[in-house]
């Protein structure tokens, strides 16, 4: 067996720049800055830069790009090779017993974990994205042409009575990084849902938040399971003071036993803002009201809280006064509206911040970079619920 010991890998960034200049490639200040800001040292180059990376470092000069690749090849051709003595079969077997293969060792990242990290890197450093497909199953090589093709497929499937769900999920995953960049750069909600029509469906939002914040269990499972753990105490706290407690009690008394769990869930969601001293009217409105706010808002088409608690009646979720999607039950409404904050990159409004923060941090266990510690007043109320 042989092991390569390249001298190239020992260069620091500044040493690498000096060697490149000595090789006859003039590096200006802007190019040197790119080397330093992106930690491009000898080890990085030895690992292998893609054509897109080299193009970024020497933007606008094919000559420099070609000479740099020639410089790298020159160093690699002159590497020192150390030949190691083969390990006897008996010893090799004992070593294998002590050290399992990486594919079976839980200490090594899985393929899915590698893909997740790669996608995150592409979002933060777009210049690393290959413009042409490279054979990998990830979506990091997508460009405007391929995204347009995926979008055409999505819009075609959306027109069908029975769309191919596996195709939809695949194309939404392939366009995910591109879509996140469009939203972060300010694409309007109207344009987003027009381009990606499956973001007009509850399942489309549930899948999207699972892409934004991957987890071993789905968002819907975490939401329902997490809310079930606090529901009993929440109902006890709310029914004592909430102005909607009477409608809940009457609805429960008239219901069938098998319907009670769902009734309790929907009532708990209605009571949730009240628990944190916020108004449910900021999250759910009735038919005659027009929630023309930039924030996700549920609008019930029946002017009756009892119908909402029972789970009957038509409802929609609006953003900025525009109907984004239709839902079949209040719990589906609630989860969809919550997902919209992440999908459309909307900041929580002050009048619902405690409610939404509780759902995010305590119910579905999502923590984002830059999130501050929970305030003491919110922690006290959370402690009462558990």
Q: Do the beta carbons of residue 92 and residue 9 sit within 8 Å? A: no
**Nearest CA-CA partner of 361 in 346, 377, 378:** 378
Comparing 13-22, 120-129, 142-151, 344-353, the range with the smallest average pLDDT is: 120-129
How far is it, in rounded angstroms, from Cα 66 to Cα 34? Answer: 18
pLDDT score recorded for residue 238 = 84
Q: Do the beta carbons of residue 386 and residue 378 sit within 8 Å? A: no
- pTM for this model (two decimals): 0.63
Burial class (CB in 10 A: 0-12, 13-18, 19+), 149: middle
pLDDT score recorded for residue 131 = 46
Span 349-370, average pLDDT = 91
| CB burial readout 220-229, b (16+ within 10 A) else e | bebbbeebee
pLDDT score recorded for residue 112 = 66
The per-residue pLDDT for range 205-260, each reduced to its tens digit, is 999 999 999 989 999 999 999 999 999 998 988 877 777 888 888 888 888 888 89
pLDDT score recorded for residue 364 = 93
Confidence band for 309, pLDDT divided at 50, 70 and 90: confident
Structure tokens, 156:
């075609």
CB count in 10 Å sphere of residue 168 = 21
Instruction: Give backbone dihedrals phi and psi of 355, rounded to 5 degrees, phi first.
Output: -60, -50
pLDDT score recorded for residue 291 = 63
Comparing 56-60, 195-199, 274-278, the range with the smallest average pLDDT is: 56-60
What the chain holds in terms of domains, given with CATH numbers, is 2-83 (1.10.150.50), 110-197 (no CATH), 219-385 (no CATH)
pLDDT score recorded for residue 132 = 42
């Amino acid at each position: 067996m042989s092991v390569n010991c390249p001298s190239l890998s020992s260069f620091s960034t500044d040493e690498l720049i000096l060697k490149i200049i000595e090789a006859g490639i003039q590096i200006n200040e802007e190019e040197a800055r790119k080397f330093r800001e992106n930690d491009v040292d000898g080890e990085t180059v030895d690992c292998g830069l893609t054509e897109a990376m080299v193009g970024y470092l020497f933007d606008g000069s094919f000559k420099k790009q070609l000479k740099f690749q020639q410089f790298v090849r020159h160093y690699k051709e002159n590497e020192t090779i150390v030949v190691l003595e083969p390990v006897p079969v008996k010893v090799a077997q004992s070593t294998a017993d002590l050290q399992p293969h990486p594919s079976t060792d839980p200490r090594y990242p899985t393929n899915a974990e590698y893909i997740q990290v790669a996608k995150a890197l592409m979002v933060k450093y777009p210049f690393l994205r290959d413009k042409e497909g490279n054979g990998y199953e990830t979506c990091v090589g997508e460009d405007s042409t391929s995204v347009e093709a995926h979008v055409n497929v999505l819009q075609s499937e959306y027109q069908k009575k029975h769309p191919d769900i596996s195709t939809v999920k695949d194309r939404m995953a392939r366009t995910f990084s591109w879509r996140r960049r469009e939203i972060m750069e300010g694409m309007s909600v109207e344009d987003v849902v027009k381009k990606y029509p499956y973001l007009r469906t509850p399942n489309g939002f549930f899948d999207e938040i699972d892409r934004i914040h991957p987890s071993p269990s789905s968002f819907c499972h975490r939401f329902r399971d997490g809310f079930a753990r606090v529901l009993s105490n929440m109902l006890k706290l709310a029914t004592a003071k909430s102005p909607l407690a009477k409608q809940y009690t009457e609805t429960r008394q008239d219901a069938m036993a098998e319907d009670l769990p769902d009734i309790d869930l929907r009532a708990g969601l209605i009571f949730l803002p009240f628990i944190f001293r916020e108004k449910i009217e900021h999250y759910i409105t009735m038919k005659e009201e027009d929630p023309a706010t930039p924030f996700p808002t549920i609008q019930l088409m029946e002017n009756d809280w009892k119908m909402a608690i029972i789970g009957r009646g038509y409802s929609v979720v609006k953003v900025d006064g525009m109907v984004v999607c239709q839902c079949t039950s209040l719990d589906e409404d609630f989860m969809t509206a919550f997902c919209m904050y992440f999908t459309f990159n909307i900041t929580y409004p002050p009048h619902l911040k405690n409610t939404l923060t509780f759902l995010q941090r305590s119910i579905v266990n999502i923590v984002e970079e830059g999130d501050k510690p929970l305030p003491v007043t919110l922690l006290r109320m959370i402690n009462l619920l558990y």
